[in-house]
Amino acid sequence: MSRVRFAVMVSAVLGFVFAWSSAMAQISGTDHDFSGRGWGSNEICVFCHAPHNTNTTVAGAPLWNHAVTTQTFTLYSSPTLNATMSQPAGVSKLCLSCHDGLTAVDSFGTRTGTTFVTGQANIGTNLGNDHPIGFAYNAALIALDPGLKTPPTTLPRYGASADTLECATCHNVHSNTQGKFLRASNAASAMCLSCHSK
């Protein structure tokens, strides 16, 4: 093996280890840290991720190790909504695989759990009173609604066209530095106003 090839491999491994340890450090001690719950593992990542035998039923799921929700959700609707809505998919379906309140948080790997999300974290299956998710937030939608702005690049969009607004557009499951796992501060509605001009 050439030195260049070896150096590239070592760099790749170190990059992965750094990213993994950084994500783990940000989850540690948050509401997404289940390592001390007595659910058969004291690892932080295993409740959602595993390197082998992962669930591939959700496209783009990152080494998914958790049970996936099978619920049908009531979608957001409004007379002023210009977006085309559809059942949650992708990263939002992964979020709802705990926050639907019906899929056990401790159902991971081969384990069938018995602990369910409660309180404010239980979004449930009625998404009608929550911010809409799973729709294309693109130039065509912005043209239909002058109250919308092109979202900043700090708020990621998902899907094949990288234009779908999902739960993870505003929330970062791996970091709670802003509270409520928000990607940015929402003081004085700052994050909301980065997309909405009204």
In the chain, % of residues over pLDDT 70 = 87
Confidence class for position 26, pLDDT limits 50, 70, 90? confident
DSSP string, 35-85: TTS-SS---SSTTTB-SSS---SSTT-SSB-B----PPPBPP--TT--SPP
Task: Give the pLDDT mean for 15-26.
Answer: 48
Task: Give the pLDDT mean for 8-15.
Answer: 48
| Amino acid letter for position 15 | G
5 vs 21, which has greater pLDDT? Answer: 5
- Mean pLDDT (the chain, rounded): 89
Q: Report pLDDT for 198.
A: 73
Residue 164 has pLDDT above 70, yes or no: yes
Task: Give the pLDDT mean for 97-103.
Answer: 98
- pTM here? 0.84
The answer to whether 99 touches 121, Cβ cutoff 8 Å, is: yes
Task: Give the pLDDT mean for 150-177.
Answer: 95
173/161 Cα distance (integer angstroms):
22
Confidence class for position 60, pLDDT limits 50, 70, 90? confident
Residue 23 has pLDDT above 70, yes or no: no
Q: State pLDDT tens for residues 35-57.
A: 999 999 999 999 999 998 899 99
193 vs 59, which has greater pLDDT? Answer: 193
Q: Can you name the residues that pair with 64 across neighbouring β-strands?
A: 49
Residue 19 has pLDDT above 60, yes or no: no
| Amino acid letter for position 50 | A
